Amino acid sequence: MGVALTKSVQWTTAAGFGTGTLEITPLNEAILKEIIMFVESFIYKHAQEAKYVFVEPLEWKTNLDPSAFESGYVVSATTVKSEEADKNGQPLLFLSVPQIKIRSFGQLSCLLFIAKDTKLKEAQACLEANRNPVAKILGMEYNTMKEDSSVLNILDKITKEDDPESEIKMKMAMLLEELDLHLLNYSLKYTSLEIHLNPVTIKKDIELLKHFSGQGEQTVLESIEYTSDYEFSNGCRAPPWRQLHGEICYVLVKPHDVETLCITCCAEGVFLNGGKTDDEGEINYERKGAIYKDLVTFLKQKSAKFSENMSKQTRLTEEQQKVKDQPKKAPKKEEADALCKTITSSNKSKLENNQINLGKNQMTKRLEPRLNLKTTVDFKIRKSSIRDAQEKKHGGRPEKSTPPVSAGRAQLVHKNADKTEEITSESSSESEEDEEPPDHRQEANADLPSEYWQIQKLVKYLKGGNQTATVIALCSMRDFNLAQETCQLAIRDVGGLEVLINLLDTDEVKCKIGSLKILKEISYNPQIRRNIVDLGGLPVMVNILDSPYKILKCLAAETIANVAKFRRARRAVRHHGGITKLVALLDCSQNSTEPAQASLYDERDVEVARCGALALWSCSKSYANKEAIRKAGGIPLLAQLLKTSHENMLIPVVGTLQECASEESYRAAIKAERIIENLVKNLNSENEQLQEHCAMAIYQCAEDEETRDLVRLHGGLKPLASLLNNTDNKERLAAVTGAIWKCSISKENVTKFREYRAIETLVGLLTDQPEEVLVNVVGALGECCQEYETRVLVRKCGGIQPLVNLLVGINQALLVNVTKAVGACAVEPESMMVIDRLDGVRLLWSLLKNPHPDVKASAAWALCPCIQNAKLLLNMVGSPDQDLQEAAAGCISNIRRLALATEKAQYP
């Protein structure tokens, strides 16, 4: 918090002399409140660090009375000592009225709680007496009074220390640095609100001076120009970290009689700065003289020629204004014609000159920053990948250009491509590339937050800094909200992705860790993950999987899991040997190489295996990768991990098995490894995501009769039936109903489902559910209704009507299942009468015209029991019950009418 205290907080005297006091301003009060909140919560959020003993105590004059201290303190009339002491027996809090000394954050927190209503005054007194608190807390070597040394000095010193307190000291340093950044950002927002009117006035002054500048003795200046062409939304041209000081812009002015001046325009006024450096062209922001109220006043003091010519221009302007105010005579007709001709000729000449100089102006004008320009590398890679895909698709010859697609259709294609990429149940071949989403770039005139520019500044340090500066820049970059798209694109737009990927090739472990942590966070963005693949990031990450450092293995695997969300990335992982290496991470016994501290290393090995499973889950969405996982021996290792109790581990393990179980070879291996037992066991977990993936894995495996029997024998049918009652989580409901559907193919399982009252619950799910749930529910009822008891139960529960209502849908899979269910119910005469009364037979007959062969076949099979029941209906016509006679006759009449109508349609 050193930079914030010296640069953001407003003091009555220059910071650094220790004699100034805090001004009574809203900004100071707000900063004090933020610091108080940080200190008060420190003892709860960072209990271990709260016990850290300061190198030097924080000392100030307090207004607290000794009587305010209660338990935990030794209190006398004029002194207070804390019972908590350091290793030398010295108390961490000592009060000798009115002087107080505190040597830990824990005691600082307690003091603020004791102070209650006077905590603001105590915090103010503490900061006024301790102008550089970080140096007292961590030592003078961590002096943060210099603006550019805060984070750099902290980590540089810590890495050189070997004492046992080094780790806690590092955490303390980073916590204080986070507070410093927070206070700086808070001050920036406040300052931008304070100066939003001043940039307009300064801009008008500069434009006016430009108008009177140029070559010649009568001009006030030779030239005047901004040092930056980019203007922020608040009107400032100064970088965000300089706007904290109220600075608005920087101007280079060349008077006639003195050297070029580099001037700072700020909220307080105008002053001369240190000018531009020769090597990097950056501005030395240090003030070199007095502050003047405006730009004209400053230049009058610095240039006698400017003062003289400015006075002449002022008098000339006044005289012209007087002439302009006098009444003008009307010009004669000849003079008017001549004037018009002159003006026309002049305009024509200007137009020709503009056309001649157009190309020249295009080359010489200074370009403004344009963040929406794509890099040449990105364009070439994109073009090359498109050409390769076309050549592959058309037998080695590039595809001819096709007519442009309409805007609406293009938007739909991109939307569908994004959706397809994110569907976790996808099991696709790799013959074609996923359609890539449009590459969004920030527009130059967009209202970008300050974080965007701060991150770009950090990337600059990454490019040119030494190892220590690189580590600090990486740590500082992680302090930003990298889940925010603006921060992600800021890293990419300035070339940060290339730098981060290059850092992975270094020998510095800290740089690799920092780079991977950032890449892991930003690779959730679909555009970023594609850029990572284009820049060759995946082969480097695959190589890191062989590292002896487990944290590097974890971070690399997690990043691969995020990136491998589309086919090209999954293919790249496989081609560079990534599948074999990821499978090797699943072997905890192989990863555990350190014999000491077994429990700790076991935990680390579990984390390595979890990250490996996470990456395999993403990669297992293609057939080739599934085969590669199986050949690398992944199934036995996944089966072994499935026996653990770590839910975080189980989710990616089961997710991988769920994806792979779509292949018959995997289903056979799953039976051989006795995986079904553990899948059933985890159905009873409290984790909904784990329940969903276990149910989906059972759904994939239950195509086999032996697997269905295993689910029943291990008690898996009851938890599946009970999970039907929770309908809030639609994804889990779809997986559960799918598992019940496949398990219902076995008659023994249907008997169990009736026992668990699952049939009644399934009937209740026939309405107000998404199609993916309805397909499975109807499929399950279609299998269950093959038995008489279930058909009666469905009819009594009112299930016939919602089934018939679903016959008018358009979903092919749903129509196939619902026709089978209706056909199964039609075997029973009473259900047949209900179907006929609801016009179900006509709807089945109409589905014979459906374009899909599966729907037509299923509808035809469903009509068979309807026609067979016509014989029973004939017997019912002779029944003594008049109502039954009428119903049977009506049903036969409808069937006959449908048959005649179909015959007439076929033979007109």
DSSP one-letter string for 42-106: HHHH-HHHHTPPPSS-EEEE----GGG--TTEEE-SSEEEES-B-TTS-BSEEEETTEEEE-SHH
The residue with greater pLDDT, 166 or 274, is: 274
Highest mean pLDDT among 282-286, 389-393, 734-738: 734-738
Q: How many CB atoms lie within 10 A of CB 714?
A: 16
pLDDT at 23: 67
Q: How confident is the model at residue 89 (pLDDT cuts 50, 70, 90)?
A: confident
Q: Which pair of tokens denotes residue 733?
A: 């409901």
118-132, 282-296, 364-378: range with lowest mean pLDDT: 364-378
How far apart CA 684 and CA 36 sit, in angstroms, is: 46
pLDDT at 863: 77
Look at residues 548, 542, 625 and name the one whose alpha carbon lies nearest to residue 581: 542
Q: How confident is the model at residue 155 (pLDDT cuts 50, 70, 90)?
A: very low
Over residues 318-324, the mean pLDDT reads: 61
Look at residues 654, 572, 562, 663 and name the one whose alpha carbon lies nearest to residue 613: 654
pLDDT in tens, 739-795: 999 999 988 989 988 888 888 999 998 888 888 899 999 999 999 988 888 888 988
Distances (CA, A) of 213 to 192, 233, 239: 31, 27, 27
What b/e sequence results for 659-670 when a residue is b if at least 16 CB atoms lie within 10 Å of its CB, and e otherwise?
bbbbbeebbebb
pLDDT at 664: 83
How far apart CA 706 and CA 831 sit, in angstroms, is: 33
How far apart CA 125 and CA 108 sit, in angstroms, is: 13
The residue with greater pLDDT, 370 or 894, is: 894
The structure's pTM equals 0.52
pLDDT at 611: 93
pLDDT at 475: 85
Please report how the helices 509-522 and 496-503 are oriented relative to each other, as an axis angle in degrees rounded to 10.
140
Residue 542 in this model has a pLDDT that exceeds 90: yes
Q: How confident is the model at residue 263 (pLDDT cuts 50, 70, 90)?
A: very high
pLDDT at 353: 43
pLDDT at 190: 61
Over residues 434-453, the mean pLDDT reads: 58
Query: 3-class SS at 292?
Result: strand
Q: How confident is the model at residue 872 (pLDDT cuts 50, 70, 90)?
A: low
The residue with greater pLDDT, 539 or 194, is: 539
pLDDT at 606: 85
How far apart CA 28 and CA 34 sit, in angstroms, is: 10
Residue 330 in this model has a pLDDT that exceeds 60: no
Look at residues 479, 391, 482, 476 and name the one whose alpha carbon lies nearest to residue 432: 391
pLDDT at 774: 92
pLDDT at 414: 37
Residue 508 in this model has a pLDDT that exceeds 70: yes
pLDDT at 208: 87
- The angle at the Cα of 642, spanning 638 to 644, to the nearest 5 degrees, equals 125
pLDDT at 830: 84
Residue 364 in this model has a pLDDT that exceeds 50: no
The single-letter DSSP state of residue 797 is T
How far apart CA 888 and CA 713 sit, in angstroms, is: 45
Phi then psi for 20, rounded to 5 degrees? Answer: -80, 165
pLDDT at 516: 92
pLDDT at 218: 82
How far apart CA 772 and CA 738 sit, in angstroms, is: 9
pLDDT in tens, 214-230: 888 888 899 999 988 88
How far apart CA 579 and CA 35 sit, in angstroms, is: 49
Look at residues 717, 720, 752 and name the one whose alpha carbon lies nearest to residue 733: 720
Highest mean pLDDT among 63-67, 142-146, 603-607: 63-67
pLDDT at 181: 78
The residue with greater pLDDT, 331 or 868, is: 868
Distances (CA, A) of 443 to 227, 365, 497: 22, 20, 19
Residue 4 in this model has a pLDDT that exceeds 60: no
Look at residues 109, 132, 124 and name the one whose alpha carbon lies nearest to residue 49: 109
The residue with greater pLDDT, 633 or 418, is: 633
Rounded to the nearest integer, the mean pLDDT of the chain is 76
The residue with greater pLDDT, 17 or 57, is: 57
pLDDT at 726: 84
pLDDT in tens, 670-719: 888 888 888 888 888 888 889 999 999 999 888 888 888 898 898 889 99
Residue 299 in this model has a pLDDT that exceeds 60: yes
Q: How confident is the model at residue 574 (pLDDT cuts 50, 70, 90)?
A: very high
Q: How confident is the model at residue 352 (pLDDT cuts 50, 70, 90)?
A: very low
Q: How confident is the model at residue 616 (pLDDT cuts 50, 70, 90)?
A: very high
Q: How confident is the model at residue 905 (pLDDT cuts 50, 70, 90)?
A: very low
The residue with greater pLDDT, 665 or 143, is: 665
The residue with greater pLDDT, 564 or 360, is: 564
pLDDT in tens, 126-143: 888 888 888 888 877 665
Query: 3-class SS at 621?
Result: coil
Look at residues 701, 561, 685 and name the one whose alpha carbon lies nearest to residue 621: 561
Q: How confident is the model at residue 356 (pLDDT cuts 50, 70, 90)?
A: very low
Phi then psi for 80, rounded to 5 degrees? Answer: -140, 130
The residue with greater pLDDT, 171 or 254, is: 254
Highest mean pLDDT among 2-11, 146-155, 362-371: 2-11
Over residues 641-652, the mean pLDDT reads: 84
Highest mean pLDDT among 99-103, 143-147, 239-243, 843-847: 99-103
Residue 594 in this model has a pLDDT that exceeds 50: no
Q: How confident is the model at residue 147 (pLDDT cuts 50, 70, 90)?
A: very low
